[in-house]
Structure 1
Amino acid sequence: MEFEGYIFDLDGTLADTMPAHYLSWRKITQKHGLEFSEDRFYSLGGVPTERIFNILAEEQGKTLNAAECAHEKENAFVDLISEVGPIEPVLEVVRLNHGKVPMAVATGAMRWVMERILDQLEIADYFQAFVCSEDTKRHKPFPDVFLEAATRLGVAPEKCCVYEDAQLGIEAGQAAGMHVIDVREFHTPRRITAGA
């Protein structure tokens, strides 16, 4: 099938960031007395950082400033960004379609964090549109981030192909009426927790 637009999630799809993200999550959640297992971390892939802190605090009966905690976590992640590399099979798709088909990044990350990751990988110039956590009110598994990316590309949703690595993101792509490729079928991130 010929697609008229490609949309890529960022973390765990274009960039092999998930181990570094979990290390930074573990550091900040422990600091604030929150439990956050690696399995739970992966189950919430695509959910904005601030929202995850609110979910964890409510579940565990803690009071915290989720926005401040989110910035602490993202700063801790950026400290590890030099360790982040690309997920080559996905980047190969980007390179093959560059200049032929419009492409976008659609992520639950904050814009400044997305920009740091794209700079680290030196791939920002491949894309014509970027949609971040600040750009939609609803986040994955709602389709809004992908629909907004399609709008910015000027491509009908059903003519877009989405690359995703998280279950919530896959559901979002399907809800948007797009063809979805599950990156987990060919890439497994390194686990931090022994035996996880």
Structure 2
Amino acid sequence: MPSASASAGKIRRGYPGPVLPLPPGDFRAYLFDCDGTIVDSMPVHHLAWRAALGEWGCDLPEDLFYAWGGRPVADIVVDLNARHGLAMPVDVVARRREDAYQTFLPQLTAVPGVLAHIERAHRRVPFAVVSGSTRESVTASLSALDLLDRFDVLVCAEDYARAKPDPECYLLAARLLDVPPEHCLVFEDTDLGVAAATAAGMASVRVPPPWQR
């Protein structure tokens, strides 16, 4: 069986997939969310959540998991505690979830319609990843798909204070790339992410969920 990076390399070069349509504009940088946008990782993250929560007999149904897409891990744990009358420690659950996710990395694939734009525009415009996940998680996901070297800047959960839909993370990425917000194009898969891009004054491309591709 080929390694995860070898398989991803084959997917990345051999099957970029159908291209998502882009809005008109003079775009000088592409900014990508990671989970569910570059990496088809949402089903894997759901598995990791269920593995982490099982220690406390707590469940996160699939429909609720997707409805809460883009929310910080800590907020999800707090809301689950309130819903189920539990007292799960946020830091412990977050660590359990991250550890479980790492074990599922070989299952990851790229989102084809986004991968096509990465392949076509690489070296033509600078790229940033703007994610609500930790740098550890983002780096592991992109490395598993042999895509980490495509990105000039990573903006991860540790790098900003206010989560999406606040525009802070996207404005930070634009500053780091030295590109005005109005010339940045954002790729996002959640309502919170699209709202953050809009609040930052950036155009966006909505990436459909797995069941609509």
* Mapped contact 1:45–1:169 kept (Cα < 8 A): no
Distance 2:211 2:105 in 1: 16
State the alpha-carbon separation in 1 of the partners of residues 139 and 207 from structure 2.
Answer: 21
Give 4+ residue runs of structure 1 displaced > 3 Å after superposition: none
2:86 to 54, 59, 62: 62
- Residues 87-102 of structure 1: pairs in structure 2 closer than 5 A: 87-102=111-126
Q: How many residues align?
A: 188
Structure 2, unpaired ranges of 5+: 1-24
Instruction: Find out whether 1:132 has 2:156 as its counterpart.
Output: yes
Which of 7, 12, 35 matches 2:36?
12
RMSD: 1.5
* TM-score normalized by the length of structure 2: 0.84
2:55 pairs with one of 24, 31, 39: 31
Q: Distance in 2 between matches of 1:112 and 1:176?
A: 26
Deviations 1:176-195 (A, max 9, x none): 111010001xxx3259xxxx
Q: Give matches, 1:70-109, under 5 Å.
A: 70-109=94-133
CA distance in structure 2 between the partners assigned to 1:76 and 1:126 by the alignment: 26
Q: After superposition, where does 1:114-133 map in structure 2 within 5 Å?
A: 114-133=138-157
Q: Scaled by the length of structure 1, what TM-score is found?
A: 0.91
Instruction: Trace 1:166-185 onto structure 2 (pairs within 5 A).
Output: 166-184=190-208
Provide structure 1 residue ranges, at least 5 long, that are not aligned to the other structure: 192-196
C-alpha separation in 1, matches of 2:211 and 2:89: 30
Query: Between Structure 1 and Structure 2, whose CA radius of gyration is higher?
Result: 2
| 1:51 positional shift | 2.7
Overall identity of the aligned pairs, in %: 37
Amino acid corresponding to residue 121 of structure 1 in structure 2 = L
**Are 2:210 and 1:189 equivalent residues in the alignment?**
yes
Shift of 1:40: 1.4
State the Cα deviation string for residues 97-153 of structure 1 (Å, max 9, x = none): 111111100001111111100100111111110000111111011111111111111
Any idea what SS the aligned residue of 1:11 has? coil
